Amino acid sequence: MKNTYIPITMEVEKNYFETSDRMIKTLRLKFLDERFDFEPGQFCEFSILGKGEAPFGIASSPFDKAGLEFSINRAGVVTKAIHELRIGEKVGIRGPLGNYYPVKEMEGYNVVVIGGGFAFTTLRSLIEYMLNPERRGKYKSIKVIYGARNPGLLLYKDLLENWEKRDDIGTYFTIDTKVEGWNKMVGFVPTITEEVAPSPENCYAIVCGPPIMIKFTLPVLLKLGFPKDKIVTSLERRMKCGIGKCGRCNLGEFYVCNDGPVFNFEQLEKLPKEV
Ligand SMILES: Cc1cc2nc3c(=O)[nH]c(=O)nc-3n(C[C@H](O)[C@H](O)[C@H](O)COP(=O)(O)OP(=O)(O)OC[C@H]3O[C@@H](n4cnc5c(N)ncnc54)[C@H](O)[C@@H]3O)c2cc1C
Ligand code: FES
């Protein structure tokens, strides 16, 4: 069995700013000698020699077999080093880690994906997975509600445009306050969710975003009638090993790295209040 502490080597193939504030970069890494498959919602530990290691959700589609994409916010030591990487440089990747969105259980269901800000990374992976011709027939309607503070902070703008043109996915993109040239929705994600009012009938809600967005979106979904076990989210927690050994990510009865990062709200309700 492969040693889960040893990263595989990958090469930076693309590297570009994703948002207008230049705080988020998307990196495409190419597999070299070793490779792995993954499911939507899983993450990797990304390491740079001499700098350290940090966890990031995989943003690309599991059907994209040649590499992996990550969208990374510059926060501290490791993320600054990642932003400074150049094309052709080598990095270490341990993964895939953690559980994933319940893509098998969701088969035959409608799905509403609700995202905010740069937490949209693994939701992109999930949506691209569900839209793949091999998978699209497995799901009924797919709706995407996605918001950011302003248009420049929305991730994956080209992809969002492509989704808007398709007739097999409903898109509701929003920004917090009106700006000139923006002709889509305006308002916070919880308010827009209430406006769109997705039916809870035979439907999963997959929610990912800043804690404040999740805090106010959950009551809306409950009011609309979504059962707690059909509301799913992904937790970000400080991590070290990423494989359930060090205890760094412990939360109640769970290790977020191993038992999560994906949980439904029935599970989260049993956890200590800090979630
Ligand atoms: C499962 C998972 C998936 C993630 N996916 C992404 C992703 O797709 N894109 C992305 O940009 N980030 C993601 N993160 C967060 C990312 O791991 C942290 O931003 C990163 O570890 C910061 O490393 P650093 O060395 O640059 O910062 P540090 O120098 O360690 O810290 C800089 C600042 O960031 C804070 N910080 C560090 N880690 C976290 C954390 N996990 N939560 C809250 N605050 C933190 C510190 O308190 C400090 O204030 C994810 C985290 C987890 C656990
Ligand atoms: S990060 Fe080590 S147990 Fe989860």
Kindly state if the Cβ of 54 falls inside 6 Å of ligand 2. no
pTM (two decimals): 0.95
- Tokens standing for 41? 């919602």
Range of the domain at 12: 8-97
Output the residue whose Cα is nearest ligand 1's atom 6: 56
Residue ranges of the chain whose pLDDT lies below 50: none
115 and 227 in a single domain? The answer is yes
- Predicted local distance difference test score (pLDDT) of residue 3: 84
Confirm whether 158 is domain-assigned: yes
248 DSSP assignment: T
- Predicted local distance difference test score (pLDDT) of residue 141: 98
142-148 and 110-116: which strand pairing?
Answer: parallel
Q: Angle at CA 7, nearest 5°, toward 104 and 260?
A: 35
Q: Which ligand is nearest to the CA of 55?
A: 1
176 and 79 in a single domain? The answer is no
CA 133, CA 138: separation in Å to the nearest integer?
A: 10
Output the residue whose Cα is nearest ligand 1's atom 27: 76
Confirm whether 62 is domain-assigned: yes
- Predicted local distance difference test score (pLDDT) of residue 172: 98
**Is 255:249 a contact under the CB 8 Å cutoff?**
yes
Q: Mutate which of 236, 243, 251 to test ligand 2's pocket (most atoms within 8 Å of Cβ)?
A: 243
Kindly state if the Cβ of 55 falls inside 6 Å of ligand 1. yes
Atom from ligand 2 closest to the CA of residue 238: 1
198 preceded by cis ω (within 30°)? no
Asked whether the CA dihedral 158, 163, 164, 170 is positive or negative, the reply is negative
CA 206, CA 234: separation in Å to the nearest integer?
A: 9
**Is 32:10 a contact under the CB 8 Å cutoff?**
yes
- Dihedral of CA atoms 127, 133, 160, 193 in degrees, nearest 10, equals -50
- Tokens standing for 116? 């905010």
93 and 115 in a single domain? The answer is no
Question: Smallest Cα–Cα separation from 219: which of 176, 184, 189, 251?
Answer: 189
Atom from ligand 2 closest to the CA of residue 247: 3
Q: Which ligand is nearest to the CA of 24?
A: 1
Fill in the amino acid letter for 77. Answer: V
Confirm whether 167 is domain-assigned: yes
Residue 98 C-alpha to ligand 1 middle, in angstroms? Answer: 16
Confirm whether 38 is domain-assigned: yes
- Predicted local distance difference test score (pLDDT) of residue 274: 60
Q: How many domains does the chain have?
A: 2
CA 182, CA 165: separation in Å to the nearest integer?
A: 17
128 and 66 in a single domain? The answer is no
pLDDT single digits (tens) 240-266:
999 999 999 998 889 999 999 999 999
* β-sheet bridge partners, residue 185: 174
- Predicted local distance difference test score (pLDDT) of residue 273: 67
Q: Which ligand is nearest to the CA of 124?
A: 1
58 and 174 in a single domain? The answer is no
Q: Which ligand is nearest to the CA of 237?
A: 1
SS3 108: coil
Residue appearing with tokens 């809600």: 205
Residue 54 C-alpha to ligand 1 middle, in angstroms? Answer: 7
Kindly state if the Cβ of 197 falls inside 6 Å of ligand 1. no
93 and 120 in a single domain? The answer is no
- Predicted local distance difference test score (pLDDT) of residue 270: 84
CA 159, CA 163: separation in Å to the nearest integer?
A: 6
Half-sphere exposure of 171 (CA within 13 A, CB side): 17
Last residue of a domain, one of 39, 71, 97: 97
Residue appearing with tokens 């979904």: 221
- Tokens standing for 44? 């990797």
- Predicted local distance difference test score (pLDDT) of residue 63: 98
Atom from ligand 1 closest to the CA of residue 235: 1
How far from the centroid of its chain's Cα atoms is residue 107's Cα? 19
